Amino acid sequence: MTIVEPRPAAIRTEHVDVLVVGAGISGIGAAYHLRERFPAKSFTILDALDRPGGTWWTHRYPGARSDSDLFTFGYRFKPWRGPSIASAGEILSYLDEVIEENGLRERIRHGHRVTAARWSSREQLWTVEVTRVDTGEQLRFTTGFLWMCQGYYRHDQGYVPEWPGLDRFRGTVVHPQRWPEDLDHAGKRVVVIGSGATAATLIPAIAPAAAHVTMLQRSPTFFLARPRTHELATTLRALDIPEEWTHEILRRAHIAQGAELTRMSFESPDELRKFLIEEMRAMLPEGFDVDRHFNPRYRPWQQRIAVVPEGDFFAALREGRASVVTDTIDTFTESGIRVASGEELEADIVVTATGFDLSLFGEIAFTVDDEPVDFTERVTYRGLMISGVPNMAYVFGYFRNSWTLRADLVSEFVCRLLAHMGEKDASTVVPQLRPQDAGMPLRSWADPQDFNAGYVMRSMDRMFRQGDREPWTHMHEYVEEREMLPAADLDDGLTYR
């Protein structure tokens, strides 16, 4: 008897003109621009999560909020009507409005995880392999242009160092990216490891109910207290100014303020350090050891400044609901953490607010004409395309400004590029080094002297490179790029076929 094995089901293939990966801030913005500029083009957004929003959906820890103002974190085309600092829920509502107002809901495929992307020069197409998260079904998409908007870190797990004795701890250990909905911190002793924006957000949110919250930091961070609602917004709204005007005025005000802080961080860092420390000192209990706990080793803005709305983090310290320990971990014990000084911090719950792991293009396997793409050997083109990789753009935001400011600029650039391809009757565009770039010195994707946050330093060996000249550089400031990108020559460094 001959046994005939059943043939595997054929993989269903769909084609779209543009395929967007990611339905967070970047992907939703990209979809808006595509719909506005190219109403006849077909496009689809693929996202592994079960609803749009990216970070604002996955970060569900108490108090999750923006760490930059919403007038610049919001889109240029959609006025922000709320407070300057907003909760994750408010941001999700805003994104839902953008989706509904622009008919984008039916363009998004949730629970679709991209696993591989193959470019064929013969077909002049990307073939993208996709797995349905809920069923495991394998799907396939082809597209003429691939737009990576998936963010820059792993949503499914955060970064957690290896600490001695962690397995001995009898309490609960939780990372903010994996916050359990049923975690009860009321009356509990909580130690939050880390002192970045997440810790500054989480601590004032849980301190009122917890027995006590201790922020354990290896080294200090700069904090800056700001009002939830900008006083200028209050003034303008009292005058019944149109929301579009208020949005643009506040947007410009926040951009100018951010540009001044950035200028000072390079030109007069000691003056800026003194300003930030004195601002913090005024909000801390009298006699607090500010130099030990709030005077970082790095230059101001060499890492992000954690914004504290209404100084709520400092209020928790003044009220004695929270405290700060600056030390290194010697070992976990059964009942807490022993630090290098010998002090033991007793804890029922330990929160590892220790950052995230950077993920390059969602860790998707890329090939070009059957050759695997080693991004560590490639060079960025203006921080939005990669040398030798055809018909692919990506979004990476700013370190010192809101992510959305750059997402908007990149969207406008990509749409201008797609229009330029149409004018040339070209189906392929690829960044390629010019003759004058032969032997160009290659640099790391980020300069530690400019910005040296932990996730940047941990990712140096897995990222693409940059050159020493345009258009092979990135990590510019917004005040530069808002003039640079719209004026960029689309025939410089790009080859069309």
Give me the DSSP letters along 297-310. SSPTTSSPPEEEET
The mean pLDDT value for 27-53 works out to: 97
Q: When comparing pLDDT for 152 and 433, which is higher?
A: 433
Q: Which residues of 203-237 are buried (b: 16+ CB within 10 A; e: fewer)?
A: bbbbbeebebbbbbbbebbbbbbbeeebeebeebe
Of 18, 33, 70, 47, the closest CA to residue 405 belongs to: 70
Is the dihedral angle over the CA atoms 271, 275, 276, 280 positive or is it negative? positive
Tokens found for residue 239: 């005058």
Distances (CA, A) of 231 to 227, 228, 236, 277: 8, 9, 9, 23
Which residue type does 17 have?
D
Instruction: Give the torsion through C-alpha atoms of 290, 296, 302, 308, to 10 deg.
Output: -40
pLDDT digits (tens, 9 = 90+) for 210-221: 999 999 999 999
The mean pLDDT value for 57-86 works out to: 90
Name residue 142's beta-bridge partners: 15, 127
The mean pLDDT value for 398-420 works out to: 95
Residue 300: exposure state from Cβ atoms within 10 A (0-12, 13-18, ≥19): buried
**Has residue 5 got a pLDDT over 60?**
no
The mean pLDDT value for 470-497 works out to: 95
Q: What is the structure's pLDDT at 475?
A: 86
Tokens found for residue 394: 């990506």
**3-7, 77-81, 221-225: the lowest-pLDDT one:** 3-7
Containing H/E element for 13? strand 13-21
Q: In the predicted model, what is the mean pLDDT of the chain?
A: 93
Q: What is the structure's pLDDT at 9?
A: 58
Q: What is the structure's pLDDT at 157?
A: 78
Rounded Cα distance between 240 and 317, Å, is 38
Q: What is the structure's pLDDT at 355?
A: 86
Instruction: Give how far the C-alpha of residue 314 lies from the chain's centroid of Cα atoms, to the nearest Å.
Output: 26
**Has residue 236 got a pLDDT over 90?**
no
Tokens found for residue 55: 């970070």
In 196-268, the DSSP E strands lie at 212-217, 223-226
pLDDT grade for 371, boundaries at 50, 70 and 90: very high
What are phi and psi for residue 29, nearest 5 degrees?
-65, -45
The mean pLDDT value for 351-366 works out to: 90
Of 264, 255, 258, 254, the closest CA to residue 299 belongs to: 264
Mapping DSSP onto H, E and C, the string for 317-355 reads: HHCCCEEEEECCEEEECCCEEEECCCCEEECCEEEECCC
pLDDT grade for 2, boundaries at 50, 70 and 90: low
Rounded Cα distance between 55 and 88, Å, is 9
pLDDT grade for 227, boundaries at 50, 70 and 90: confident
Tokens found for residue 420: 């330029």
Q: What is the structure's pLDDT at 452?
A: 77
**Has residue 229 got a pLDDT over 90?**
no
pLDDT grade for 3, boundaries at 50, 70 and 90: low
In 149-206, the DSSP E strands lie at 153-158, 172-174, 189-193
Name residue 303's beta-bridge partners: none
Instruction: Please say whether the beta carbons of 339 and 329 come within 8 A.
Output: yes
Instruction: Please say whether the beta carbons of 54 and 85 come within 8 A.
Output: no
pLDDT grade for 369, boundaries at 50, 70 and 90: very high
Tokens found for residue 410: 């990149």
pLDDT grade for 304, boundaries at 50, 70 and 90: confident
3-class DSSP state for residue 116?
strand
The mean pLDDT value for 158-169 works out to: 92
Residue 77: exposure state from Cβ atoms within 10 A (0-12, 13-18, ≥19): middle
Q: What is the structure's pLDDT at 4?
A: 47
**53-62, 90-99, 140-149, 333-342: the lowest-pLDDT one:** 53-62
**Has residue 1 got a pLDDT over 50?**
no
Q: In the chain, what percentage of residues exceed pLDDT 90?
A: 76
Q: What is the structure's pLDDT at 117?
A: 98
Q: What share of the chain is helix, strand, coil (3-state, %, to 5)?
A: 35, 25, 45
Q: What is the structure's pLDDT at 228?
A: 79
pLDDT digits (tens, 9 = 90+) for 264-295: 999 999 999 999 999 999 999 999 999 999 99
pTM of the model: 0.94
The mean pLDDT value for 178-205 works out to: 95
Rounded Cα distance between 223 and 293, Å, is 11
Rounded Cα distance between 62 and 85, Å, is 15
